Structure 1
Amino acid sequence: MSHFSIIIPSIRARLFDCRSSLFATFVLLSGLFAAGCSGSHDDEVGGTPPATVLQFRLQTLRPEIREIRESITGTGTIGAAQTSNIGVVTPGIVERVFVRVGDRVKKGQPLFQTRKNDYEISEQLARAELTAAEARAEQARLDYERAIDLLGKEFISQAQLDTAANSLKAAKAEAGVAEARLAQAAQRLADTTVRAPYDGVVTGRNADEGTYKSAQTFGADSSVLQLQEIKIVVAVVRVPEIYITRLSIGTPGDIFIGGMDGLFQAEIYAINDKVDMRSRTVEVRFGLANDDYRIKPGLFVQADIHPPERTAMLLEQDAILDRSGDPYVFLLEDGIAQARPVVLREYDPRKVEILSGLGEHESILVGPDLIRLTDGDLIPSIHDADR
């Protein structure tokens, strides 16, 4: 047997073994491919696998409903019960000023006087005119009575009697006008002395003796003196407008006055119906007795006002996100985190007051992982802090 006849069968055997191995490999890959395709098809038919539920370190709590008594603080100024800029009634030169700044005066007490010479002369003229008018009226009365007597004796006609009667009427009217002019002149003379309209204290002087003042000018600059009634003073206090619904006539307050020891207790007696648009505040007033004049107008005042108790919804500050911007909380509803905007205000270092946005029975999420939450996150069973 030749050498080649021995080699050829061996090669054929090896080729057969290679073909068998290739076929087996092909069958194995086909099976794996078919299995993969079958798995993909089953996934499409059976639906998507459940979403992964993240684990959060959270718990829930509910808002606290509590009756609270909360003071409202406002600041302002002490004012007088009345302030009057006293000017001349009749124009003229200020001749005398009887009081000084700081003097306490009684109602009706003379304050200052304008020059009265011209008004004295006017009164004298008016008095003389009245005397003459009264004399003419008396003469007209006598003439009328005589005319009646003469008509009875048929010495004059009826027309002459009528003339006498009309002359009497005219004379009486002239006397009345003269009397009114005298009263007017006397009042002008009296008005040269200006008197205090009420008990008070002189708090300003705007003119010296020798200054001409006209009654046609108005305002503090045209006045001679400023007078204030301070036996009762007024604490004029401004508070933020958000508290306006909690204030009413009779609400008590503690009044602290700058530069004075202790506090004064008073009640609101007036609430201004106008809200200041610039400061967004409303003005309230307290009356304070000041018999000794110790409280001075213009002093700084702070009021701690005590409205009645009210029901409030309080929540831990840790449950609030973005407090300085648009605050919101996360509620737990059916195992899902739901973002909810709220309106709030600071209550104390630990709690805020919820003004709107929450119900008292809702579950609010809190915990270290609160900032990781997004709206719609699935939340597993967690501890309810209120149960």
Structure 2
Amino acid sequence: MVRPNSRFTHVQPFDIDKVAAAAGADPDVLRMENLDTDVPPPPAAVAATTESLRAGTGNSWLPFTGLPVLCEAVAADLRSRTGLDFDPLRQVAVTSGGTSAVLPTLLATTEPGDPVVLTDPTYAGLLQRVRLSGARPHLVPLRVEGGRWRLDRDALAAVPAAAALLLMSPSMPSGVVLDRDDWAAVARLCERTGAYLIYDAAMERLVFDGRPRVNPCQVDGLAERTIIIGSVSKEYRMIGWRIGWVAGPPDVMARIMVATVYNTTVAGGFQQHGAAAALTDPAGGGVAEAAAEYQARHDTVIAQLDGFPVVRADGGWSCLVDAEALGLGAGELSARLLDRGRIAATPMTAWGATVAPRYVRLVFSNEPVERLSELRARFTAALP
């Protein structure tokens, strides 16, 4: 008999792998269930990784918190985004992907039972890691206004206590982009509660329609409280490299580095050289071009589903369709889309509490516009 463990009492499993397994390898299925992408990574990153493999420069356990070349590249990138100087040795730690930084950061900033504020919906990998850390999620809803997601600032202002806020912008799975007034509301809550802001910046530059990008460190009161998590997976399309980082104030970073080292020892050295090349690529790593391609795909999805209860994203790789507005549960809609429409799409069961579970996510990062142009016909075939 398995011994009980309270950390797992409320942890919910992913459904992505189940949907992917059900879809199999059928080439006719639109693969909209997982955050893969067919947009290639930067050639400079591929070349640097290949050269590191050839030369054997990354085959080491050391340094535990990241190669200096990558830590320096991260610090320079953060300077351009935030206007702040980060010490590459004391304020940057390299991790095995961005989400691998989340649990060490939570362990360093919370005690068991502490409330951590997230949005509803949010990425399941963030929400469930809060639970695994022993902290307690406090979910603040996103609301649909004018066909787009907006943060419920009144609900945010009503949060009584928090050890940390764990936020993403653009956020998975909704594609909401937090504006300066949203971040100002976050700053007020952090000031009132003494909370850290843990900011997942993995998609920060993947915004649509020329919307302004606001890094929270640029907002009064947040720079000294913000811990930034980044990676090369989304902006640079380097999912398989599994390289991320965490950066923040030196005092808390000392604890985060300890937790990171004892969690994974070290991230892959060959991949770190590739990540450094992406961050320092004179061509910009193709980020702007990728963002434009994702917007074209998003806009195709929205046009194809005109009249359906789909919510526009302001950035990122995915958007959400309201299953309950179609008279179905999210799981039932997901099953119908696959069985009748040949669309693999994931129900948001583990991605929130009251808002997320009514939605199904449509990922547009791994399907070209030509195939997404079949979406309306496939949806029509799937629905009664």
Give the structure with the larger strand fraction.
1
Q: Same fold (TM over 0.5)?
A: no
Structure 1 length-normalised TM: 0.16
TM-score (normalizing by structure 2): 0.16
